[in-house]
């Protein structure tokens, strides 16, 4: 049976066989574009590779016979997006790519795609669809780069959408909700999905890339946010992960969202990412009352000098206080730390491990630095990037992608050490750590210093 489709949007993430990440979320970016196009009466379908293979994706493309295919590309999916484009070249009339990586490195995609979308995709994809499906061609579309007979043409970047309430909710009916719910039920005993309540982040962390949403904070109204929370709850999800860069940037906004949740007696748990300098005890208590069960903090270093190098604009005392504020409100906490950042030394790495494992956290993540094009970190190490068959290595593989004064083995040893120290403290408590953790910490500190 042939299913004719105007536009097919594809998320070419295929779960690696040995992937240890517990998190799986639907691709909300193309979900927003799909709903935006559907609202304007275009036929749209989403192919999410999260629970499919590339072979299955290609078979569905053959059956759908789409006129336009849009492929999402990010730093950890460059190979997959380009490989898919090459394999389906003859199955569609127009190949479009968008997402974080094409936004910062568009010209590397022009050999395999007809048009590259820069920045937010809703209005740009709408204009592309109207031009191509109505007139059979795409010429000048703001926010795009394309190659044609005249060469390469680049149009000015499109301004971000100011009123986020004007964008319909992601087209969740096009996602495989049963597969996502089954995954989380088996993994955690409850269902979970993601939401985005704001776009943009005004902070300037050295390692952070925000090419699509930019550095201007824009937020949806509290009523609009809770409307979507209700819609998600009606789909059978029990927990929401707010995928905002920083959910708590505006205390007043979060307080109003909490008020609206309580006013409607909405019974759904939620989690979010926060900066340590945006969570006081009042806000934490309010969030808990409205259903917040866990907050993740991007602390990144346990050494004041390294925090300055990373341009985090926080200090360790504030970090410790934020975790305490969340714990006092009975909210679980998680934190992220980077090991082996340019400027790190044996001392600063051990300081980070010691600080991280001294915090009363429920979850901790230690990762190697990942230089994303367009970031300060990338500029620091671009001269020392390692040659690889893949220009950018997947985050889950935890490979060191640039030449460092530390060996990859040494940094991974630090990550293992930090993980063990964290588990001793988490499961045995302060007394258990004093008996087992301290001796382990002291011995492994000495071992770490002598590892090359």
Burial of residue 22 (number of CB atoms within 10 Å: 0-12, 13-18, 19+): exposed
- SS3 for 160? coil
Helix, coil or strand: residue 74: coil
> In the predicted model, is pLDDT for residue 104 greater than 50?
yes
pLDDT attached to residue 127: 96
Is residue 18 very low, low, confident or very high in pLDDT (cuts 50, 70, 90)?
low
Q: According to CATH, where is 3.20.20.70 located in the chain? A: 176-450
- The proportion of the chain whose per-residue pLDDT surpasses 90, expressed as a percent, equals 84
Strand, coil or helix: 227:
helix
Residues 184-195 have a mean pLDDT of 94
Going from the C-alpha of 167 to that of each of 127, 139, 224, the distances in angstroms are 15, 25, 10
Parts of the chain belonging to CATH 3.40.50.280:
7-149
pLDDT, mean over the chain: 93
> Which is more confidently placed, 139 or 104?
104
Least trusted range by pLDDT, from 68-82, 132-146, 168-182, 193-207: 132-146
Look up the CATH superfamily of 7-149: Cobalamin-binding domain (3.40.50.280)
State the pLDDT at residue 20: 61
Q: Return the CATH number of the domain spanning residue range 176-450.
A: 3.20.20.70
Residue 391 confidence (pLDDT)? 44
Q: Which of 103-117, 276-290, 347-361 has the lowest mean pLDDT?
A: 103-117
Which string of b and e fits 71-99 if b means at least 16 CB within 10 Å? bbbbbbbbbbbbebbeebeebbebbbbbb
DSSP bridge partners of 152: 147
pLDDT at 1: 36
């Amino acid at each position: 049976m042939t299913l004719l489709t105007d536009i097919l949007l594809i998320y070419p993430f295929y779960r690696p066989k040995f992937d240890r990440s517990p998190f799986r979320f639907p691709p909300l970016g193309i979900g927003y574009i799909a709903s935006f196009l559907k609202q304007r009466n275009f036929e749209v379908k989403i192919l999410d590779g999260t629970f499919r293979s590339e072979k299955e994706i290609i078979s569905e493309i053959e059956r759908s016979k789409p006129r336009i295919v849009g492929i999402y590309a990010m730093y950890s999916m460059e190979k997959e997006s380009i490989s898919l484009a090459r394999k389906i070249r003859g199955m569609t009339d127009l190949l479009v790519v968008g997402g974080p990586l094409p936004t910062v490195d568009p010209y590397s995609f022009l050999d395999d795609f007809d048009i590259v979308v820069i920045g937010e995709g809703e209005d740009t994809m709408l204009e592309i669809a109207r031009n191509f499906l109505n007139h059979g061609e795409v010429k000048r579309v703001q926010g795009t780069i394309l190659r044609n007979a005249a060469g390469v043409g680049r149009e000015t970047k499109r301004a971000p959408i100011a009123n986020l309430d004007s964008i319909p909710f992601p087209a969740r009916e096009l996602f495989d909700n049963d597969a996502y719910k089954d995954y989380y039920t088996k993994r955690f005993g409850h269902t979970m999905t993601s939401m985005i309540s704001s776009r943009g982040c005004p902070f300037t962390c050295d390692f952070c890339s925000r090419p699509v949403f930019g550095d201007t904070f824009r937020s949806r109204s509290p009523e609009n946010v809770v409307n979507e929370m209700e819609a998600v709850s009606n789909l059978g999800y029990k927990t929401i992960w707010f995928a905002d860069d920083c959910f708590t940037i505006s205390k007043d906004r979060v307080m109003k969202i909490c008020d609206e949740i309580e006013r409607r007696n909405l019974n759904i748990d939620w989690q979010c990412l926060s900066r340590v300098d945006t969570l006081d005890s009042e806000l934490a208590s309010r969030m808990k009352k409205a259903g917040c069960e866990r907050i993740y903090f991007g602390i990144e270093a346990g050494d004041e000098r390294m925090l300055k190098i990373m341009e985090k604009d926080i200090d360790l005392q504030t970090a410790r206080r934020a975790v305490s504020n969340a714990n006092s409100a009975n909210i679980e906490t998680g934190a992220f730390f980077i090991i082996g950042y340019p400027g790190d030394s044996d001392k600063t790495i051990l300081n980070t491990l010691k600080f991280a494992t001294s915090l009363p956290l429920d979850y901790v993540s230690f990762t190697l630095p990942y230089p994303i094009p367009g970031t300060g970190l990338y500029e620091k190490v671009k001269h020392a990037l390692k040659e690889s068959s893949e220009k950018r290595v997947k985050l889950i593989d935890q490979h060191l992608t640039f030449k460092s004064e530390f060996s990859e083995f040494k940094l991974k040893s630090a990550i293992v050490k930090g993980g063990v120290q964290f588990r001793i403290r988490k499961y045995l408590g302060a007394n258990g750590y004093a008996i087992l953790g301290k001796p382990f910490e002291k011995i492994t500190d000495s071992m770490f210093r002598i590892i090359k």
